[in-house]
Amino acid sequence: MPRPLRDVVFVDGVRTPFGKAGSKGVYAQTRADDLVIACIRELVRRNPSLPPERVDDVAIAATTQIGDQGLTLGRMAALLSGLPRSVPGFSIDRMCAGAMTAVTTTASGIAFGAYDVVIAGGVEHMGHHPMGEGVDPNPRIVAERLVDPSALVMGSTAENLHDRYPGITRDRCDAFAVASQRKLAQAYDDGRIQPDLVPVATRDVDQGWGLATIDEPPRPGTTASDLAALKTPFRAHGRVTAGNAAGLNDGATACLLASADAAAELGLATRMRLVSYAFVGVEPEVMGIGPVPATEKALRQAGLSIDDIGLFELNEAFAVQVLAFLDHFAIADDDSRVNEYGGAIAVGHPLASSGVRLMTQLARQFEQHPDVRYGLTAMCIGIGMGGAVIWENPHHADYGQEAAA
Protein backbone atom coordinates (compact mmCIF):
# COMPACT_ATOMS: atom_id res chain seq x y z
CA MET A 1 0.00 0.00 0.00
CA PRO A 2 1.35 3.48 -0.83
CA ARG A 3 2.32 5.34 2.33
CA PRO A 4 1.38 9.06 2.44
CA LEU A 5 4.15 11.40 3.55
CA ARG A 6 3.63 13.41 6.72
CA ASP A 7 4.36 17.10 7.24
CA VAL A 8 7.52 17.80 9.24
CA VAL A 9 7.72 20.84 11.51
CA PHE A 10 10.57 22.63 13.24
CA VAL A 11 9.54 22.91 16.90
CA ASP A 12 12.48 24.61 18.60
CA GLY A 13 16.19 25.26 18.23
CA VAL A 14 18.99 26.34 20.54
CA ARG A 15 22.74 26.76 20.45
CA THR A 16 25.63 27.48 22.73
CA PRO A 17 27.35 30.83 22.45
CA PHE A 18 30.09 30.33 19.86
CA GLY A 19 33.68 30.58 21.06
CA LYS A 20 37.04 31.23 19.48
CA ALA A 21 39.09 28.10 18.89
CA GLY A 22 42.44 27.91 20.64
CA SER A 23 44.03 27.94 24.05
CA LYS A 24 42.56 31.34 24.93
CA GLY A 25 39.03 30.58 23.75
CA VAL A 26 36.17 30.36 26.22
CA TYR A 27 35.78 26.59 25.60
CA ALA A 28 39.48 25.71 25.56
CA GLN A 29 39.04 23.38 28.54
CA THR A 30 35.42 22.36 27.89
CA ARG A 31 34.57 19.05 26.20
CA ALA A 32 32.86 19.10 22.81
CA ASP A 33 30.25 16.55 23.88
CA ASP A 34 29.35 18.69 26.89
CA LEU A 35 28.47 21.54 24.54
CA VAL A 36 25.90 19.52 22.63
CA ILE A 37 24.62 17.92 25.85
CA ALA A 38 23.84 21.41 27.14
CA CYS A 39 21.78 22.04 24.01
CA ILE A 40 19.80 18.80 24.29
CA ARG A 41 19.03 19.41 27.95
CA GLU A 42 17.84 22.93 27.14
CA LEU A 43 15.51 21.66 24.42
CA VAL A 44 13.92 19.23 26.88
CA ARG A 45 13.63 21.97 29.52
CA ARG A 46 12.01 24.41 27.11
CA ASN A 47 9.43 21.88 25.93
CA PRO A 48 7.98 20.36 29.11
CA SER A 49 4.96 18.91 27.31
CA LEU A 50 7.29 16.49 25.50
CA PRO A 51 7.78 13.23 27.43
CA PRO A 52 11.48 12.40 26.99
CA GLU A 53 10.64 8.83 26.05
CA ARG A 54 8.78 10.16 22.99
CA VAL A 55 12.08 11.23 21.40
CA ASP A 56 12.61 8.59 18.70
CA ASP A 57 16.22 9.33 17.75
CA VAL A 58 19.10 11.76 18.27
CA ALA A 59 21.29 12.68 15.30
CA ILE A 60 24.40 14.72 16.07
CA ALA A 61 26.90 15.82 13.44
CA ALA A 62 30.64 16.42 13.76
CA THR A 63 33.20 16.87 11.03
CA THR A 64 36.07 15.40 13.03
CA GLN A 65 34.65 12.32 14.73
CA ILE A 66 37.43 11.52 17.16
CA GLY A 67 38.16 12.21 20.82
CA ASP A 68 35.37 14.10 22.56
CA GLN A 69 33.48 14.24 19.24
CA GLY A 70 33.63 10.50 18.62
CA LEU A 71 32.12 7.22 19.81
CA THR A 72 28.70 7.51 18.11
CA LEU A 73 28.18 10.97 19.54
CA GLY A 74 24.41 11.05 19.07
CA ARG A 75 23.92 8.01 21.31
CA MET A 76 26.46 9.14 23.90
CA ALA A 77 24.97 12.63 24.04
CA ALA A 78 21.47 11.19 24.46
CA LEU A 79 22.59 9.10 27.43
CA LEU A 80 24.60 11.90 29.03
CA SER A 81 21.72 14.35 28.56
CA GLY A 82 19.49 12.20 30.73
CA LEU A 83 17.21 10.94 27.97
CA PRO A 84 15.82 7.46 28.61
CA ARG A 85 18.05 4.57 27.57
CA SER A 86 15.38 3.59 25.07
CA VAL A 87 16.26 6.67 22.97
CA PRO A 88 18.81 5.73 20.28
CA GLY A 89 21.28 8.03 18.57
CA PHE A 90 23.83 8.25 15.80
CA SER A 91 26.54 10.45 14.35
CA ILE A 92 26.60 12.03 10.93
CA ASP A 93 29.17 13.86 8.80
CA ARG A 94 28.76 16.13 5.81
CA MET A 95 31.46 18.58 6.84
CA CYS A 96 29.96 22.09 7.23
CA ALA A 97 26.47 20.81 6.47
CA GLY A 98 26.53 18.14 9.17
CA ALA A 99 23.73 19.59 11.29
CA MET A 100 21.75 20.46 8.17
CA THR A 101 22.04 16.83 7.07
CA ALA A 102 21.11 15.60 10.56
CA VAL A 103 17.91 17.63 10.16
CA THR A 104 17.05 16.48 6.64
CA THR A 105 17.89 12.84 7.37
CA THR A 106 15.71 12.61 10.47
CA ALA A 107 13.01 14.77 8.89
CA SER A 108 12.82 12.22 6.08
CA GLY A 109 12.28 9.53 8.72
CA ILE A 110 9.46 11.58 10.21
CA ALA A 111 7.85 12.09 6.80
CA PHE A 112 8.09 8.34 6.12
CA GLY A 113 6.54 7.48 9.48
CA ALA A 114 9.56 5.91 11.18
CA TYR A 115 9.75 8.72 13.76
CA ASP A 116 7.36 11.13 15.46
CA VAL A 117 9.87 13.33 17.31
CA VAL A 118 13.64 13.68 16.89
CA ILE A 119 16.53 15.81 18.09
CA ALA A 120 19.07 16.85 15.47
CA GLY A 121 22.13 19.06 15.75
CA GLY A 122 25.86 19.35 15.51
CA VAL A 123 29.02 20.27 17.34
CA GLU A 124 32.52 21.29 16.40
CA HIS A 125 35.35 22.01 18.81
CA MET A 126 37.95 23.29 16.38
CA GLY A 127 40.24 24.11 19.28
CA HIS A 128 40.43 20.44 20.22
CA HIS A 129 40.12 19.09 16.68
CA PRO A 130 41.33 21.33 13.85
CA MET A 131 39.69 20.64 10.53
CA GLY A 132 41.38 17.64 8.91
CA GLU A 133 42.92 16.29 12.11
CA GLY A 134 43.72 12.60 11.79
CA VAL A 135 42.53 12.25 8.20
CA ASP A 136 44.48 10.42 5.51
CA PRO A 137 43.18 11.46 2.08
CA ASN A 138 43.70 8.82 -0.56
CA PRO A 139 46.70 10.01 -2.63
CA ARG A 140 44.83 9.10 -5.82
CA ILE A 141 42.58 12.13 -5.33
CA VAL A 142 45.50 14.37 -6.32
CA ALA A 143 47.85 11.94 -8.08
CA GLU A 144 45.20 11.00 -10.63
CA ARG A 145 44.11 14.61 -10.93
CA LEU A 146 40.60 13.93 -9.73
CA VAL A 147 40.85 17.33 -8.06
CA ASP A 148 43.35 20.14 -7.93
CA PRO A 149 45.31 20.21 -4.64
CA SER A 150 43.62 23.53 -3.80
CA ALA A 151 40.32 21.65 -3.40
CA LEU A 152 41.51 20.35 -0.04
CA VAL A 153 42.12 23.85 1.38
CA MET A 154 38.86 25.73 1.88
CA GLY A 155 40.47 29.17 1.78
CA SER A 156 42.11 28.32 -1.53
CA THR A 157 38.74 27.29 -2.97
CA ALA A 158 37.44 30.73 -2.01
CA GLU A 159 40.33 32.35 -3.90
CA ASN A 160 39.46 30.11 -6.86
CA LEU A 161 35.89 31.38 -6.70
CA HIS A 162 37.20 34.93 -6.86
CA ASP A 163 39.03 33.94 -10.04
CA ARG A 164 35.76 32.67 -11.55
CA TYR A 165 33.92 35.86 -10.59
CA PRO A 166 36.33 38.80 -10.96
CA GLY A 167 33.51 41.25 -10.29
CA ILE A 168 33.49 40.06 -6.68
CA THR A 169 36.37 42.18 -5.46
CA ARG A 170 38.09 42.21 -2.09
CA ASP A 171 36.58 45.62 -1.36
CA ARG A 172 33.11 44.24 -2.02
CA CYS A 173 33.76 41.26 0.25
CA ASP A 174 35.09 43.51 2.99
CA ALA A 175 31.99 45.69 2.75
CA PHE A 176 29.79 42.61 3.08
CA ALA A 177 31.80 41.51 6.13
CA VAL A 178 31.44 44.92 7.79
CA ALA A 179 27.67 44.69 7.24
CA SER A 180 27.61 41.22 8.81
CA GLN A 181 29.28 42.56 11.95
CA ARG A 182 26.91 45.53 12.05
CA LYS A 183 23.77 43.43 11.63
CA LEU A 184 24.81 40.98 14.34
CA ALA A 185 25.53 43.84 16.75
CA GLN A 186 22.09 45.30 16.00
CA ALA A 187 20.43 41.90 16.52
CA TYR A 188 22.12 41.66 19.93
CA ASP A 189 20.97 45.19 20.80
CA ASP A 190 17.43 44.23 19.80
CA GLY A 191 17.50 41.03 21.88
CA ARG A 192 17.08 38.77 18.83
CA ILE A 193 20.05 36.48 19.49
CA GLN A 194 19.91 35.90 23.24
CA PRO A 195 16.65 33.87 23.43
CA ASP A 196 18.24 31.00 21.50
CA LEU A 197 21.50 30.83 23.48
CA VAL A 198 22.18 28.18 26.11
CA PRO A 199 24.46 29.43 28.90
CA VAL A 200 27.42 27.08 29.30
CA ALA A 201 29.45 26.66 32.48
CA THR A 202 33.17 26.66 31.70
CA ARG A 203 36.23 25.89 33.75
CA ASP A 204 39.86 26.91 33.39
CA VAL A 205 42.57 25.42 35.58
CA ASP A 206 44.07 28.85 36.08
CA GLN A 207 41.04 31.15 36.03
CA GLY A 208 38.44 28.86 37.62
CA TRP A 209 34.76 28.67 36.73
CA GLY A 210 33.05 30.88 34.19
CA LEU A 211 29.77 31.19 32.31
CA ALA A 212 29.56 31.66 28.54
CA THR A 213 26.45 33.70 27.75
CA ILE A 214 27.32 35.58 24.55
CA ASP A 215 29.24 34.84 21.37
CA GLU A 216 32.98 35.39 21.56
CA PRO A 217 33.97 35.93 17.87
CA PRO A 218 32.05 39.15 16.98
CA ARG A 219 33.99 42.36 16.40
CA PRO A 220 31.36 45.13 16.53
CA GLY A 221 32.56 48.40 15.13
CA THR A 222 34.73 46.76 12.47
CA THR A 223 35.38 49.12 9.55
CA ALA A 224 36.40 48.62 5.94
CA SER A 225 39.76 50.25 6.67
CA ASP A 226 40.33 47.72 9.47
CA LEU A 227 39.77 44.86 7.04
CA ALA A 228 41.84 46.42 4.27
CA ALA A 229 44.94 46.10 6.45
CA LEU A 230 44.61 42.32 6.86
CA LYS A 231 46.87 39.81 5.11
CA THR A 232 45.71 37.28 2.53
CA PRO A 233 46.95 33.96 3.92
CA PHE A 234 45.85 31.69 1.08
CA ARG A 235 47.47 33.57 -1.80
CA ALA A 236 49.91 36.44 -2.16
CA HIS A 237 47.92 39.53 -3.13
CA GLY A 238 44.75 37.49 -2.79
CA ARG A 239 41.30 38.56 -1.68
CA VAL A 240 40.35 36.20 1.17
CA THR A 241 41.28 37.40 4.66
CA ALA A 242 40.44 36.60 8.25
CA GLY A 243 38.06 39.56 8.13
CA ASN A 244 35.88 38.49 5.21
CA ALA A 245 35.70 34.81 6.14
CA ALA A 246 34.38 32.86 9.11
CA GLY A 247 36.92 32.11 11.83
CA LEU A 248 37.89 28.93 13.64
CA ASN A 249 35.28 28.32 16.29
CA ASP A 250 33.85 26.03 18.96
CA GLY A 251 30.13 25.55 19.50
CA ALA A 252 27.07 23.32 19.32
CA THR A 253 23.46 23.42 18.16
CA ALA A 254 20.38 21.24 18.51
CA CYS A 255 16.78 21.38 17.36
CA LEU A 256 13.53 19.53 17.90
CA LEU A 257 11.63 18.23 14.87
CA ALA A 258 8.26 16.48 14.83
CA SER A 259 5.48 15.39 12.56
CA ALA A 260 2.72 17.96 12.42
CA ASP A 261 0.34 15.44 14.01
CA ALA A 262 2.71 14.61 16.86
CA ALA A 263 3.34 18.30 17.52
CA ALA A 264 -0.39 18.90 17.80
CA GLU A 265 -0.85 15.85 20.03
CA LEU A 266 1.94 16.87 22.40
CA GLY A 267 1.24 20.58 22.45
CA LEU A 268 4.53 21.46 20.77
CA ALA A 269 5.03 24.69 18.85
CA THR A 270 5.15 24.78 15.07
CA ARG A 271 7.74 27.39 14.15
CA MET A 272 8.43 26.26 10.57
CA ARG A 273 7.27 23.59 8.14
CA LEU A 274 9.77 21.75 5.95
CA VAL A 275 8.95 22.28 2.27
CA SER A 276 11.89 20.76 0.38
CA TYR A 277 15.63 20.22 0.54
CA ALA A 278 18.47 19.37 -1.81
CA PHE A 279 22.16 18.51 -1.73
CA VAL A 280 24.31 18.66 -4.85
CA GLY A 281 27.90 18.12 -5.90
CA VAL A 282 30.00 20.78 -7.62
CA GLU A 283 33.64 21.15 -8.60
CA PRO A 284 35.60 20.72 -5.37
CA GLU A 285 37.97 23.50 -6.42
CA VAL A 286 35.09 26.04 -6.20
CA MET A 287 33.00 24.44 -3.47
CA GLY A 288 31.58 27.85 -2.54
CA ILE A 289 29.27 27.85 -5.54
CA GLY A 290 27.43 24.81 -4.13
CA PRO A 291 24.43 26.69 -2.65
CA VAL A 292 23.43 27.92 -6.12
CA PRO A 293 22.54 24.57 -7.76
CA ALA A 294 21.31 23.21 -4.42
CA THR A 295 18.85 26.10 -4.16
CA GLU A 296 17.77 25.69 -7.77
CA LYS A 297 17.05 22.01 -7.16
CA ALA A 298 15.15 22.65 -3.91
CA LEU A 299 13.07 25.33 -5.64
CA ARG A 300 12.20 22.97 -8.52
CA GLN A 301 11.14 20.26 -6.10
CA ALA A 302 8.89 22.72 -4.26
CA GLY A 303 7.40 24.27 -7.38
CA LEU A 304 8.70 27.67 -6.30
CA SER A 305 10.93 30.37 -7.74
CA ILE A 306 13.59 32.49 -6.08
CA ASP A 307 11.06 35.33 -5.99
CA ASP A 308 8.93 33.30 -3.57
CA ILE A 309 11.70 33.33 -0.95
CA GLY A 310 11.19 36.17 1.49
CA LEU A 311 14.07 35.47 3.90
CA PHE A 312 17.52 33.99 3.32
CA GLU A 313 19.87 32.51 5.93
CA LEU A 314 23.08 31.86 3.99
CA ASN A 315 26.12 30.53 5.80
CA GLU A 316 28.99 32.98 5.47
CA ALA A 317 31.92 30.61 5.26
CA PHE A 318 33.47 33.23 2.95
CA ALA A 319 32.00 36.50 1.75
CA VAL A 320 32.79 35.62 -1.87
CA GLN A 321 30.64 32.50 -1.63
CA VAL A 322 27.56 34.44 -0.46
CA LEU A 323 28.12 37.17 -3.05
CA ALA A 324 28.37 34.60 -5.84
CA PHE A 325 24.98 33.28 -4.73
CA LEU A 326 23.47 36.76 -4.65
CA ASP A 327 24.84 37.65 -8.08
CA HIS A 328 23.48 34.44 -9.60
CA PHE A 329 19.97 35.21 -8.38
CA ALA A 330 20.22 38.98 -9.03
CA ILE A 331 19.93 39.87 -5.35
CA ALA A 332 21.62 43.02 -4.06
CA ASP A 333 24.51 42.73 -1.61
CA ASP A 334 22.55 44.75 0.96
CA ASP A 335 19.13 43.14 0.41
CA SER A 336 17.31 43.24 3.76
CA ARG A 337 16.03 39.68 3.24
CA VAL A 338 19.54 38.26 3.47
CA ASN A 339 21.09 37.33 6.85
CA GLU A 340 19.04 39.82 8.82
CA TYR A 341 20.98 39.04 12.02
CA GLY A 342 24.39 38.95 10.34
CA GLY A 343 26.17 35.69 9.68
CA ALA A 344 29.12 33.43 10.27
CA ILE A 345 31.69 36.09 9.40
CA ALA A 346 30.59 37.83 12.58
CA VAL A 347 29.18 35.11 14.83
CA GLY A 348 31.45 32.20 13.87
CA HIS A 349 31.18 28.90 12.05
CA PRO A 350 31.82 25.79 14.17
CA LEU A 351 31.58 23.64 11.03
CA ALA A 352 29.06 20.82 11.57
CA SER A 353 26.90 22.83 13.97
CA SER A 354 26.09 25.79 11.72
CA GLY A 355 23.14 24.43 9.75
CA VAL A 356 20.86 24.46 12.78
CA ARG A 357 21.96 27.99 13.68
CA LEU A 358 20.66 29.11 10.30
CA MET A 359 17.35 27.34 10.90
CA THR A 360 16.89 28.66 14.42
CA GLN A 361 17.51 32.22 13.25
CA LEU A 362 15.11 31.79 10.32
CA ALA A 363 12.41 30.56 12.71
CA ARG A 364 12.94 33.67 14.86
CA GLN A 365 12.69 35.90 11.78
CA PHE A 366 9.47 34.19 10.65
CA GLU A 367 7.89 35.37 13.89
CA GLN A 368 8.91 38.94 13.08
CA HIS A 369 7.76 38.75 9.44
CA PRO A 370 4.32 37.14 9.15
CA ASP A 371 4.13 38.62 5.65
CA VAL A 372 6.89 36.24 4.51
CA ARG A 373 5.69 32.80 3.49
CA TYR A 374 8.91 30.97 2.52
CA GLY A 375 12.49 31.12 3.73
CA LEU A 376 15.73 29.44 2.69
CA THR A 377 18.69 28.09 4.64
CA ALA A 378 21.69 27.24 2.46
CA MET A 379 25.41 26.59 2.75
CA CYS A 380 28.48 25.52 0.83
CA ILE A 381 30.15 22.27 1.82
CA GLY A 382 33.78 21.19 1.64
CA ILE A 383 35.00 18.81 -1.08
CA GLY A 384 32.55 20.36 -3.51
CA MET A 385 28.92 20.28 -2.36
CA GLY A 386 26.04 22.56 -1.53
CA GLY A 387 22.92 22.19 0.58
CA ALA A 388 19.62 24.09 0.68
CA VAL A 389 16.43 23.72 2.74
CA ILE A 390 13.19 25.61 2.10
CA TRP A 391 10.83 26.29 5.00
CA GLU A 392 7.29 27.69 5.27
CA ASN A 393 6.24 30.30 7.81
CA PRO A 394 3.27 29.16 9.96
CA HIS A 395 2.47 32.80 10.75
CA HIS A 396 1.65 33.54 7.12
CA ALA A 397 -2.01 33.81 6.13
CA ASP A 398 -1.64 31.16 3.41
CA TYR A 399 0.33 28.69 5.52
CA GLY A 400 -0.31 25.08 4.59
CA GLN A 401 -2.00 25.78 1.30
CA GLU A 402 -0.57 24.07 -1.73
CA ALA A 403 2.16 26.10 -3.45
CA ALA A 404 1.52 27.11 -7.05
CA ALA A 405 3.63 25.11 -9.46
Helices (H), 289-396: 291-302, 319-328, 344-347, 354-368
Distance (Å, whole) CA 201 – CA 311 = 34
Q: What is the amino acid identity at position 157?
A: T
Q: What are the residues whose beta carbons fall under 8 Å from the beta carbon of 313, sequence distance 6 or more?
A: 339, 343, 358, 359, 361, 362, 365, 375, 376, 377, 378
From 128, 369, 380, 395, active-site residue: 380
Asked about 380 being catalytic, the answer comes back as yes
Residues 6+ apart with CB under 8 A from 139: none
Q: Which of 96, 125, 129, 255 is catalytic?
A: 96
* Cβ-Cβ contacts under 8 Å for 198 (sequence gap 6 or more): 14, 15, 16, 17, 38, 39, 42
In order, the DSSP letters of 257-313 are: EEEHHHHHHHT----EEEEEEEEEE--GGGGGGTHHHHHHHHHHHHT--GGGEEEEE
Pairing of strands 208-212, 19-20: unpaired
CA–CA separation, 262 vs 260, rounded Å?
6
Active-site residue flag, 237 = no
* Rounded Cα distance, 65 and 201, in Å: 23
The residue type of 93 is D
Decide if 162 is catalytic: no
Assign residue 348 a region (left: φ > 0; alpha: ψ between -120 and 50; beta: otherwise): left
CA distance 290 to 297: 11
Backbone angles phi, psi at 120, to 5 degrees: -135, 145
Residue 281 — φ and ψ, nearest 5°? -105, 145
Which positions are catalytic?
Answer: 96, 349, 380
